Structure 1
Amino acid sequence: MSKILNEFLSSNLQELKDNGLYNEINVVRGANGPVIDIDGKELINLSSNNYLGLATDETLKQAAKDTIDSHGVGAGAVRTINGTLDVHVELEETLAEFKGTEAAVAFQSGFNCNMAAIQAVMNKEDAILSDELNHASIIDGCRLSRAKIIRVNHSDMDDLRQKAKEATESGQYKKVMYITDGVFSMDGDVAKLPEIVEIAKEFDLITYVDDAHGSGVMGKGAGTVKHFGLEKEVDIQMGTLSKAIGVVGGYIAGTKELADYLKVAARPFLFSTSLTPGDTKAINEAVKMLMASTELHDQLWENGDYLKKGLKSLGFNIGNSETPITPCIIGDEKTTQAFSKRLMEEGVYAKSIVFPTVPRGTGRVRNMPTAAHTKEMLDEALEIYEKVGKELNVIS
């Protein structure tokens, strides 16, 4: 190995460990359900994005198996050569119906969606207004576009209006976009989409909503944009197929013209092999399930409210979450890491989240209750939280 590379890696790894920022990766044996096995120990799982429990759903597993038999394990090519299979077309039609848009385009991941759509639509002659707490994939997508990035204070509509006015009236930019998460994954709060749309109309902004944590969760499952009835007002909707949907991938939904353009201009679409057939069919079945019934959605919210109420009554700082995402904000990075470790030792898997994922001094253990958790599981988790919280003086 290069000496200079070895020195770089060693020094940076040690610095991360010294500051409580080094992330230990745990290996799950078997399926990622409400209870998981790590190193032979069963743990109540509060760290999965599998909100509706669909990752282990028997109907979806059978759909994937049947499609592997009929279509093989891989698509065999990129979408623009001969990697567009009938199951991809079927999925995109289902997604468009689900989101209330004219069309949708499926991608290999949510991260790929933001890499694809932002740089396809925006360029160095444009400006992007971006909420300061937007996901890393949005930040990277904005950078790749080479547009001027203008940071907007989190969910601050006065700041958005002022910066939109400055950007549009400056005459420097051909197009101006405002981009925001629908649900912010670290705090569980929801974007102020009705106000955002009004400001966008006033200044002719392109609106882009990353609904990775809202798809399947908000709007009776159809997402944050649908929650506010703004399907015809928001220009670009992005969502993942790996969280509430339970499989893998992502999508962009909008007009037919947007979909057609992305299919010829979005680099991940052009240069990455398409979603596997089995996964694609399983996703399609999952979305159809959400369109047919709100049972899983309703159970998720019931469990989320139950856990949130229990943690708050114990004295934990759970921030201002408006969704089932429930952070326990500890603050100090090392204490946060120790808190997560003790929870695991006692039987709860709730991963610590520290800088750079969240700002320094705002370390938290983020809880993700799902529709698959029972009340007994949640009660046991709350008992463990109380024990560890008092032991580490996080609560009194």
Structure 2
Amino acid sequence: MTHAALTRLQDGLAALQADHLERRRLLLDGVQGARVTIDGRRVVSFCSNDYLGLAAEPALVRAAHAALDKCGVGAGAAHLIAGHHRFHEDFEAAFARFVGKPAALLFTTGYMANLGVLTALLGRRGEVFGDKLNHASLVDAAQLSGATLTRYRHNDLAQLEGQLAASKAQDKLIASDLVFSMDGDIAPVDALLDLAERHDAWLYLDDAHGFGVLNDGRGGLSERARASDRVIYLATLGKAAGVAGAAVAAHASVIDWLIQKARPYIYTTASPPLLAACLLESLRQIAAGDARRERLRGHVAQLREGLAGLKHGALLPSDTPIQPLVVGTNDAAVRLSQALLQRGLLVAAIRAPTVPVNTARLRITLSAAHSADDVALLVEALHAVA
């Protein structure tokens, strides 16, 4: 007989399916890119975070092949035992120089980096002030840190200032996405830094979707934020950088403290050194990537102009490669996504709880690897099926 707990799981899965909230994995064959083979079908993909088209960049592939002969595949140990390879060390130094911070630390994933930073810097006498649209990893990290979690309305600096002023916490930390992953808008970095200085708080900025893309590729930090000792900067390296992992850059004392106290860094095997070698080449590609970024900006402008008169759904304001088309219900988003797939276009339907109820959307993500014809094809298809 089926036991009660399993029955409850099965009932829950059935409810998700009925509410158009069931998720399933698409099976990718071959390399990531503007055109991919998904579930055996060749499609144009508008749902990848490979914003600069570096995931299959030949220079990175060559770097991986060259590194294999020097470091093998696995790291073999945690960083603090015997797994910290020279490739890791060289990348951390290069990344810190590139983003304009004194020191950096490489984590296996962005999720682990957020968990590591917040749990290392805060405890029961701390308080995290988080934007309500922050990524789930920032929310989880704040909760696991033992600190009080206080959330403010999206980019509502007046509410945030009131919360900071009322706080009695010994250690305060403002945590915010820099580019918000489901809306595509950008946090007001200098205004957040003003509040951090006024109320003696850390400012932690998760730039998962801005690094490599914004400004000259160094991400969304202002020059003032780069120079501030209280700003801690995170860049995810599996998106525009095209590889994997995440790097945190900050004052050298912050990085030294994370090495001693960040449990997701200490208690896990180091990432394969060959990935760090690939990331070194990725930094070179990003630094020389003005043409890619210009092409990407052109795609954003083309899409927004082409969808300005769309009858069903509206693009949220965004100058980034994340272009959310809000359609409302889960069913509408799923049907629209499926209709596009029938035309050979892969665009993800995003539903609650990832976004608020009744704001289900197509999350269109653009890449420098797309052509203008690809974008035109998507615009035409959306007008036809919406």
TM-score range for the pair, normalised by the shorter chain length: over 0.9
Is the Cα contact below 8 Å between 2:185 and 2:320 reproduced in 1?
A: yes
Structure 1 residue aligned with 2:380: 383
Q: Residues of 1 paired with 2:176 and 2:346: CA distance? A: 29
Q: Provide the secondary structure at the position in 2 that maps to 1:224.
A: coil
Aligned residue among 317, 321, 336 for 1:320: 317
Structure 1 residue aligned with 2:115: 115
1:74-100 per-residue CA deviation (whole Å, 9 max, x = no partner) reads 111100001000000000011101110
Is the Cα contact below 8 Å between 1:347 and 1:384 reproduced in 2?
A: no
Q: Residues of 2 paired with 1:219 and 1:119: CA distance? A: 31
The correspondence of residues 21-100 of structure 1 with structure 2, limited to 5 A, is 21-100=21-100
1:219 deviates by 2.3
Structure 1 residue aligned with 2:349: 352
1:310 deviates by 1.4
Is the Cα contact below 8 Å between 2:107 and 2:245 reproduced in 1?
A: yes
1:348 deviates by 0.6
Aligned residue among 168, 172, 178 for 1:176: 172
Structure 2 residue aligned with 1:305: 301
Q: Which amino acid aligns with 1:346?
A: R
1:216 deviates by 0.8
Q: Which amino acid aligns with 1:148?
A: T
- TM normalised by structure 1 equals 0.94
- Alignment length (residue pairs): 384
Is the Cα contact below 8 Å between 2:241 and 2:279 reproduced in 1?
A: yes
1:127-184 per-residue CA deviation (whole Å, 9 max, x = no partner) reads 11110110000001001101000111110111111111111xxx3x111111100000
Aligned residue among 229, 235, 245 for 2:231: 235
The correspondence of residues 171-320 of structure 1 with structure 2, limited to 5 A, is 171=168, 173-226=169-222, 229-233=224-228, 234-315=230-311, 316-320=313-317
Structure 1 residue aligned with 2:132: 132
1:344-388 per-residue CA deviation (whole Å, 9 max, x = no partner) reads 111110010000100110000001110000011111111111111
Q: Residues of 1 paired with 2:112 and 2:38: CA distance? A: 30
Q: Residues of 2 paired with 1:145 and 1:44: CA distance? A: 41
Q: Residues of 1 paired with 2:276 and 2:5: CA distance? A: 40
Higher mean C-alpha displacement, 212-221 vs 135-144: 212-221
Is the Cα contact below 8 Å between 2:300 and 2:319 reproduced in 1?
A: no
Q: Provide the secondary structure at the position in 2 that maps to 1:230.
A: helix
1:251 deviates by 1.0
Q: Provide the secondary structure at the position in 2 that maps to 1:137.
A: helix
Higher mean C-alpha displacement, 295-304 vs 358-367: 295-304
Structure 2 residue aligned with 1:340: 337
Is the Cα contact below 8 Å between 2:190 and 2:224 reproduced in 1?
A: no
1:71 deviates by 0.5
Q: Residues of 2 paired with 1:347 and 1:182: CA distance? A: 32
- TM normalised by structure 2 equals 0.97
Q: Residues of 1 paired with 2:371 and 2:198: CA distance? A: 47
Is the Cα contact below 8 Å between 2:109 and 2:245 reproduced in 1?
A: yes
Is the Cα contact below 8 Å between 2:296 and 2:366 reproduced in 1?
A: yes
Is the Cα contact below 8 Å between 1:307 and 1:369 reproduced in 2?
A: no
Aligned residue among 363, 368, 374 for 1:371: 368
Task: Identify unmatched segments of 5+ residues in structure 2.
Answer: none
Is the Cα contact below 8 Å between 2:88 and 2:276 reproduced in 1?
A: yes
1:2 deviates by 6.4
Q: Which amino acid aligns with 2:201?
A: L
Is the Cα contact below 8 Å between 1:305 and 1:324 reproduced in 2?
A: no
1:229 deviates by 4.4
Q: Which amino acid aligns with 1:230?
A: A
**Cα distance change on mapping 1:229 and 1:372 into 2, 3 Å:** farther
Is the Cα contact below 8 Å between 2:225 and 2:231 reproduced in 1?
A: no
Q: Provide the secondary structure at the position in 2 that maps to 1:188.
A: coil
Structure 2 residue aligned with 1:392: none
1:38 deviates by 1.7
Structure 1 residue aligned with 2:326: 329
Higher mean C-alpha displacement, 6-15 vs 315-324: 315-324
1:310-353 per-residue CA deviation (whole Å, 9 max, x = no partner) reads 12243440012231210110110111111111111111100100
Is the Cα contact below 8 Å between 2:119 and 2:141 reproduced in 1?
A: yes
Higher mean C-alpha displacement, 105-114 vs 28-37: 28-37
Is the Cα contact below 8 Å between 2:237 and 2:244 reproduced in 1?
A: yes
Q: Residues of 2 paired with 1:309 and 1:9: CA distance? A: 45
Q: Which amino acid aligns with 1:232?
A: A
